[in-house]
Amino acid sequence: MTSSLLLFQLLNGLQYGVMLSLLAAGLTLVFGIMNFINLSHGALYMMGAFVGATTYNVSGSFLFAIAAAVAATAAIGMLIERLVLWRLYSRDHLDQVLVTYGFILIFNEIARTVWGVAPYYMAVPEFFSGPIRFLGIVYPSYRLVIVSVGVAFAIALYLLIHKTRFGMLVRAGSQDAEIVGALGVNVRKLNSVIFALGAGLAGLAGVLAGPIVSVEPGMGENILILTFVVIVVGGIGSVRGAFLAAMIVGLLDTLGRAFALPLLTMFASAQVAAAAGPALASITIYIVMALVLAVRPEGLFPVKGR
Partner 1 sequence: MSAPGIMQRFQYAVLPLAVLLAVGLPFYASFADKPFLVIFATRLLIYALAAVSLNLILGYGGMVSFGHAAYLSIGAYSVAIPSVSGIHDGLIHLLIAITASAAIGLVTGAIALRTKGVAFIMITLAFAQMIFFFIYSLKQYGGDDGLNIRVASRIAGVSLAGNQTQYWCALLALTAAAFGTHRLLQSNFGMVLRGIKSNEERMRALGFPTYRYKLAIYVVSCAICGVAGFLLANLTQFASPAYGTWMVSGELMLMVALGGPGTVGGPIAGAACILILEDILKRMTIHWMGVLGLLIAFLGIVMQRGLWARRTG
Contact 142, 124 (CB under 8 A): yes
Task: Indicate which single residue of 4, 59, 113, 269 sits in contact with partner 1 (rule: CB under 8 A).
Answer: 113
By beta-carbon proximity to partner 1, the closer residue of 154 and 249 is 249
Shortest CB 87 distance to partner 1, Å: 6
Residue 270 contacts partner 1 per CB under 8 A: no
Residue 176 contacts partner 1 per CB under 8 A: no
Contact 264, 278 (CB under 8 A): no
Contact 299, 238 (CB under 8 A): yes
Those residues whose C-beta lies under 8 Å from the C-beta of residue 88, and which sit 6 or more positions away, are: 36, 95, 96, 99
By beta-carbon proximity to partner 1, the closer residue of 31 and 56 is 31
Residue 117 contacts partner 1 per CB under 8 A: no
Q: 117 phi and psi, to 5 degrees?
A: -85, -30
By beta-carbon proximity to partner 1, the closer residue of 11 and 289 is 289
Length of the chain, please?
306
Q: For the window 277-296, what string marks contact with partner 1 as x by the rule CB under 8 A?
A: -xx--xx--xx-xx--xx--
Shortest CB 288 distance to partner 1, Å: 9
Residue 209 contacts partner 1 per CB under 8 A: no
Residue 148 contacts partner 1 per CB under 8 A: no
Shortest CB 154 distance to partner 1, Å: 23
Which residues lie near partner 1 (CB under 8 A)? Answer: 31, 37, 39, 84, 87-88, 92-95, 97-99, 101-110, 112-113, 221, 225, 228-229, 232, 236, 275-276, 278-279, 282-283, 286-287, 289-290, 293-294, 297
